[in-house]
Structure 1
Amino acid sequence: MKREIVNIVLLGSGNVATHLGLHLQNIGYNIIQVYSRTEKNAMILANRLNTDYTSDPEQLNQQADLYLIAAKDDSIATIASFNILKNKFLVHTAGSVRSDIFIPYTDKYGVLYPFQTFTKTREVNFKIVPVLVEANTPDLENELITLAEKLSEKVLKASSDQRAMLHISAVFACNFTNHMYAIAADLLKNNDLSFDLLQPLIMETAEKVMSIRPADAQTGPAVRFDRNIMDQQMTKLNEVPVYQEIYRIMSESIQNLQNKK
């Protein structure tokens, strides 16, 4: 008889745990408990989900069909090692943590990786969020796929190695890009200009890569190999050596990619 996931214990209380908990509940899953090592954080999320909470591993509910670990990467093994979770169905939500991290603790494990950046205060349309699934048996994989397909319209199977490379790509496309925005905002602020001036440029750049290859959308002095402009801009950055070094490295990388085209 096919087993069905109904009751879920959510282990974590941060951005991913909050969004997953709310969306899983909205599509009919029963979040029977929230765990966090910080009781206040567990209570805040549990109150939003109208469910039980604990910060004591020994008080974890043992009746769940799935124990979903949505916590910091370096906390996953610690949580999985809780004696009360021995041989439970354990799943984590991390991009760069292998599924076999669970091997010492259970023979039923997997990964449910929602590929998106999450902030508690911003709504996310989960239907368009890619969800990557991995499990150690075909049956468990099918269970996770069934759950994932209720969350999202884009579900795919991915190995730990594939997921890790996707996560690295996200660091470049999201985290590093956002840091570039932060640098740009700092440079503008120091010259009495508003970051708002960049917003149309940012939107146009983002929209272009939805229809053409990023390398083909590249513009600017580096892709034109305009050494005079690049030297002038490097000189302007003399007072902030770290920005100057980032500019140099990024420009060289742009040129190297263009040479490969």
Structure 2
Amino acid sequence: MNISFIGAGNVAWHLAPALENAGHHINEVYSRQLQSARRLVSNLYDAEIHSELNFAGSTSRLFILAVPDDALESVCSQLVLPEEAILVHTSGSCSIDRLQSWMAIYSDVPVRTGVFYPLQTFSREQPLLDFAQIPLCLEATDPDTEDELVTLGQAMSRIVYLVSSSERLLLHLAAVLACNFTNHLFSLARNLTVSNGLEFSLLTPLIQETVRKGLSVPDPALVQTGPARRNDQTTIQAHLSLLNDQPLTADIYQLMTRSIQQQVRQRHTDVID
């Protein structure tokens, strides 16, 4: 299948080569940042930079919107596609109804719409990821487009699901908790250690074992440890004293402590009941 990318950021950086490795041809890449388009094209076989959002003459069948959520409508309002092209976005939070309504408003020709959402964290600094292990959450507005997206997804990944917009939004929320917030906690831990002359790498084995252990059981709450789990108020207060000059981090510490303690109480209540 001939495919064009609109956007050349983190998602496109990994998704475009994965599609090529699955036997598809990346035809064109458009980005408002010309340097980003050049960088992505240089990582592909024979894709070309497309300098505008008018793709009326394109031979591509599938157009992938890999742009920030807050830019989606603006891009759609300027986008010109061939008749019966398939337009998908890669967003975890934007509903398919919004994409369909934008194309109904802005497109002069019929366009089929869908969602091709890889449930993973992407950055250009990391090595190219193996999509065989990445869940692909797909959605389409008609059965034929759905079939094509499923075929495309199954050529790349062993984990392909049809997921509604409401389910995808919930998954995206869970992903923010599991990925973005967790990484931020890593960053806070690094700031705390480095600013006090300690090496963050001392925590590496602990972080690795925490992730391994949490994924080895049906519910990570089963292996929760720490002062909040034990209701060790002496240690909790000692930790908070160390955070006197970091009120925001102290707030996060207290909120996480309350959340863990509430979860422990709830589990205890469920066992009694």
Matched, 1:127 2:132: yes
The 1:116/1:61 distance shift into structure 2, 3 A limit, reads farther
Structure 1 partner of 2:93: 96
Question: Helix, strand or coil: the match of 1:116?
Answer: coil
Preserved CA contact (<8 Å) 1:93 1:114:
yes
How far 1:90 sits from its partner (Å)? 0.7
Percent of aligned positions with the same letter in both sequences?
39
Normalising by the residue count of structure 1, what TM-score does the alignment of the two structures yield?
0.94
Distance 2:222 2:57 in 1: 53
Instruction: Tell me, in whole angstroms, the C-alpha distance in 1 between the residues paired with 2:54 and 2:186.
Output: 45
Partner of 1:240: 246
- The one-letter amino acid paired with 1:98 is S
Question: 2:69 maps to what in 1?
Answer: 73
SS of alignment partner, residue 58 of structure 1 = coil
Equivalent residue for 1:162?
167
Stretch moving more, 163-172 or 70-79: 70-79
> Cα RMSD between the aligned structures?
1.4
What TM-score, normalized by structure 2, do the two folds share? 0.90
C-alpha contact (below 8 Å) 2:3/2:64 kept by paired residues: yes
2:257 aligned to which of 248, 251, 255:
251
Aligned AA (1:195): F
Residues 42-121 of structure 1: pairs in structure 2 closer than 5 A: 42-49=37-44, 50-58=46-54, 61-85=57-81, 88-104=85-101, 105-106=103-104, 107-121=111-125
Q: SS of the residue aligned with 2:11?
A: helix
Q: How many residues align?
A: 256
Shift of 1:60: 6.2
SS in 1 for 2:208: helix
Task: Check conservation: 1:80, 1:90, Cα contact below 8 A.
Answer: no
Whether 1:12 and 2:18 are equivalent positions in the alignment is no
| 1:189-222 per-position Cα deviation (integer Å, ceiling 9, x unaligned) | 1211101110010011000112111111110000
One-letter amino acid of the counterpart of residue 252, structure 1: R
Q: Which of 34, 37, 40 is residue 35 of structure 2 equivalent to? A: 40
Matching residue of 2:26 = 31
8 Å Cα contact 1:33/1:61 also seen in 2: no
* Deviation for aligned residue 1:9: 0.7
Contact 1:8 1:33 in 2 (8 A): yes
CA distance in structure 2 between the partners assigned to 1:19 and 1:116 by the alignment: 11
Paired AA for residue 100 in structure 1: D
